[in-house]
Amino acid sequence: MAKSENGQHYLTGQLLVAMPGMQDPRFVKTVIFMCAHSADGAMGLVVNRVIDSLTFPDLLEQLNIDSEHVDERISVHFGGPVESSRGFVLHSPDYVREATLVVDERVALTATVDILKAIAAGGGPVRSLLALGYSGWGPGQLDSEIKANGWLHVDADDDLVFGTDMESKWEQAMGKLGIDPRMLSDSAGHA
């Protein structure tokens, strides 16, 4: 986990895992890959919630991109409630262009139509996750939510970020922390 000059921990490249008592229905049992976290705020993509009403070929058709040979199994994810019509692709760093943000040695982020064209043509990154919208926090907001027991964090791995088993990602992330979610209380207490 990266530290700032003042010793504060930042979660870029980590996974946020919603606590069982998460009150915001948009984030109940979510796992969020953190693309950026600094004193200026934070940005991440939900990696375990698919938008069932939109397929990748549908999205390509809306963007006038040839979808004739597209893999139908590519899902479109709910990345978060901010800018929900904007697309983001979380991917392996084997595809890096000028507009790509390399988050760490395993994950990069690109938000251009070019990456969608590359994926549609079969020339995109080896691993990818397409999301509409993102999850964002202003300065200090995420830190406050963590202190209020809204989130846990865990090291990211390829299966949790890019795996296709949406139903079990939250439980897998909790298990990676050594936590049985059934043993956690929905309410936080302070001594």
Taking residue 168's Cβ as centre, other Cβ atoms within 10 Å add up to 12
At 120, give phi and psi (nearest 5°): -60, -35
- For the chain of 191 residues, list the mean pLDDT of each consecutive stretch of 10: 50 95 92 96 96 88 82 87 94 94 95 92 90 96 92 94 92 90 57 43
pLDDT given for residue 6 in this prediction: 39
Q: Give this prediction's pTM.
A: 0.89
* Strands 128-137 and 75-78, bridge-based pairing: parallel
Domain ranges of the chain: 2-183
CA 180 to CA 162: how far, in whole Å?
23
Which residues, including other chains, have CB under 8 Å from residue 107's CB and lie 6 or more apart?
Answer: 13, 33, 90, 91, 92, 93, 156, 161
* Token pair belonging to 24: 């915001």
CA 19 to CA 125: how far, in whole Å?
32
CATH topology assigned to domain 2-183:
VC0467-like (3.40.1740)
**Residues 50 and 76 sit within 8 Å (Cβ to Cβ):** yes
pLDDT given for residue 3 in this prediction: 45
pLDDT given for residue 57 in this prediction: 86
